[in-house]
């Protein structure tokens, strides 16, 4: 068992202009490592949605992407308000994003469903007033 290759990013919660930058960096890194288009696409989408969620709802946070030979694990950790009802948040179309966020093209209520759809495993640990930690795994085909 070799140690994974790990990338860490701070997600700036104030800044919609830089939102997505960590995802773009991860995409480039995975491309250089020679992963398939499908794996790169799934990781990029899941990570971008998570990153945007952290900017919209949690005033930023921390992302860590670990690359193993057989899987890529994305951990998104924030100190935001927590998710009161995860089942509801997982429903396609359900959104609590404020109006000015919607005018930027976000808040379609597809973030968490897109993350789930593009990963093989996803767990959400959340506590009201403490924060949310999402762990997603994309398996790499052999």
Partner 1 sequence: MTVFELKERLSLTPVSLPDPEREVTGGYTGDLLSFVMGSAQSGDAWVTIMSNVNVIAVATLTDVSCVLLAGGVALDEGVAERAVAQGINVLSSPLSAFELCSKVAEQLS
Tell me the number of residues near partner 1 by CB under 8 A.
25
Q: Which residue among 39, 90, 108, 124 contacts partner 1 (CB under 8 A)?
A: 108
Stretch binding partner 1 (CB under 8 A), from 60-68, 82-90, 103-111, 119-127? 103-111
Q: Which residue among 12, 13, 19, 89 contacts partner 1 (CB under 8 A)?
A: 19
Is residue 132 classed exposed, middle or buried when 0-12, 13-18 and 19+ CB atoms within 10 A define those classes? buried
Sign of CA dihedral 40, 55, 50, 92: negative
Please say which residue, 21 or 64, places its beta carbon nearer to partner 1. Answer: 21
Is residue 62 part of the contact set for partner 1 (CB under 8 A)?
A: no
Among residues 51, 57, 110, which one has the least CA distance to residue 75? 51
| Interacting residues with partner 1 between 113 and 132 (CB under 8 A) | 114, 117-118
Q: Which residue among 4, 29, 39, 45 contacts partner 1 (CB under 8 A)?
A: 45
For 50, residues 6+ apart whose C-beta sits below 8 A from its C-beta are 63, 74, 76, 111, 115, 134, 136
Is residue 20 part of the contact set for partner 1 (CB under 8 A)?
A: yes
| Size (the chain), residues | 142
Supply the minimum distance, in Å, between the C-beta of residue 34 and partner 1: 16
Query: What does the DSSP 8-state code read for residue 15?
Result: -
Binding site for partner 1 (CB under 8 A): 16-17, 19-21, 23-24, 27, 37, 41, 44-45, 48-49, 52, 104-106, 108-111, 114, 117-118
């Amino acid at each position: 068992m070799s140690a994974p290759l790990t990338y860490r990013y701070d997600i700036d919660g104030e800044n919609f202009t830089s939102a997505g930058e960590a995802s773009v960096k991860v995409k480039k890194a995975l491309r250089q490592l020679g992963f398939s288009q499908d794996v790169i696409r799934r990781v990029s989408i899941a990570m971008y949605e998570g990153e945007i969620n952290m900017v919209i709802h949690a005033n930023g946070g921390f992302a860590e992407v670990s690359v193993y030979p057989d899987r890529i694990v994305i951990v998104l950790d924030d100190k935001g308000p927590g998710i009161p009802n995860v089942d509801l948040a997982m429903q396609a179309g359900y959104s609590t994003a404020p109006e000015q966020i919607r005018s930027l093209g976000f808040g379609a209520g597809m973030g968490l469903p897109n993350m789930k759809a593009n990963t093989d495993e996803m767990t959400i640990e959340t506590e009201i007033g403490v924060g949310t930690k999402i762990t997603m795994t994309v398996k790499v085909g052999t």
